[in-house]
Amino acid sequence: MHHRPKKADLTPDQLHDLIMRITKATLSPDVQTSLTGQAGRELIDEIIAFQHTVLDPGTNLEVGIIDVEISTSIIAVTNESDGLLQKLLKLKNDPRLNPEQKKVVLYAPNYSPQAAREAVEESIPVIQSLERLSAYVKK
C-alpha cells in the first residue's frame, strides 16, 4: 500500500515549494484558490500535501484532487454553499485517494445547513471558520 510522506519526510526544497505554493494560492484573486491557501496556511505546521492531484497507478488518469492533507486528516475546501457530498464520499472511501483511511473534513465557510447535515450524516464534519478547523484537526 502506498503511504504518503509525513512532514518530517519532506526535503527542505519540498517544504519550501509547499510553502511557496500555499502563499501563492492565498494571494490568488480566485476565491476558491485563496480559501484553499488560507486553510493550508492555517495548518502549515502539519501539512503534507496541498492541491495534490492523485493519479491512478494503473491508468495514470486523475482520480481526484486533495486540497489540503495533514497526517491525520484530508481537508476538502469549498467556497460553495453545497454540492460537495460526492467528492467528500470519494475522498473518504476511495483507497487511491485515502489509502490510510484518514478522517475527511470539509472547510466551507458558506456551506448551507442542509448540505452540512448531509455531510455530517456521512460522518464528515463541516467546519466554517479557520480557528475551528485548526482546533478540530489538532484535537
Q: Using one digit for the tens of pLDDT, what is the confidence trace for 79-133?
A: 999 999 999 999 999 999 999 999 999 999 999 999 999 999 999 999 999 999 9
CATH 3.40.1350.10 fits 7-138, yes or no: yes
Element (H, E) at 103: strand 103-107
Phi, psi of 104 (to 5 degrees): -105, 135
pLDDT, mean of residues 44-48: 91
Cα(76)–Cα(32) distance, integer angstroms:
11
Cα(65)–Cα(25) distance, integer angstroms:
15
In whole angstroms, how large is the CA radius of gyration of the chain? 14
Mean of the per-residue pLDDT values for the chain? Answer: 93
Report pLDDT for 1.
37
User: What's the one-letter identity of residue 108?
Assistant: A
Question: In this structure, what is the dihedral angle of CA atoms 12, 13, 15, 18, given to the nearest 10 degrees?
Answer: 170
6-43 pLDDT, tens digit each = 666 788 898 899 999 999 999 999 999 999 999 999 99
